Amino acid sequence: MLKHLMRALPLAILGVFAVTGSAMAAFDPTSDELSIGTFVVAICVMVFLALVYGAVEVFGINKPTEVEIPDHAHDHRYAGHH
């Protein structure tokens, strides 16, 4: 399910960008409008990444497994190797 979502989400975003790009073809923003738009987009991306990071931490998705180090002092296979 997650693989399907990760495939569909970029296509949906690109579709939205394609549709709004052609609809806004006559829009000629000033430098102030561009800087405000860039700031808003950057804040939105940072909030989205923070939410993804929070979800990963809460659900423990990328948590490494515990490493098991053998205790040779209590392992009888190595009893004669001291």
What pLDDT does 44 receive?
94
First to last CA, the chain: 53
Q: How far apart are CA 55 and CA 47, in angstroms?
A: 12
Band of the pLDDT at 73, cuts 50, 70, 90? low
Show Cβ contacts of residue 48 under 8 Å, excluding neighbours closer than 6 positions: none
Instruction: Express each pLDDT in 3-47 by its tens digit.
Output: 777 788 888 888 887 777 666 667 788 889 889 999 999 999 999
Domain ranges of the chain: 2-59
**Sign of the Cα pseudo-torsion (4, 49, 55, 53, in order):** positive
Tell if the pTM clears 0.85, that is, is over it.
Answer: no
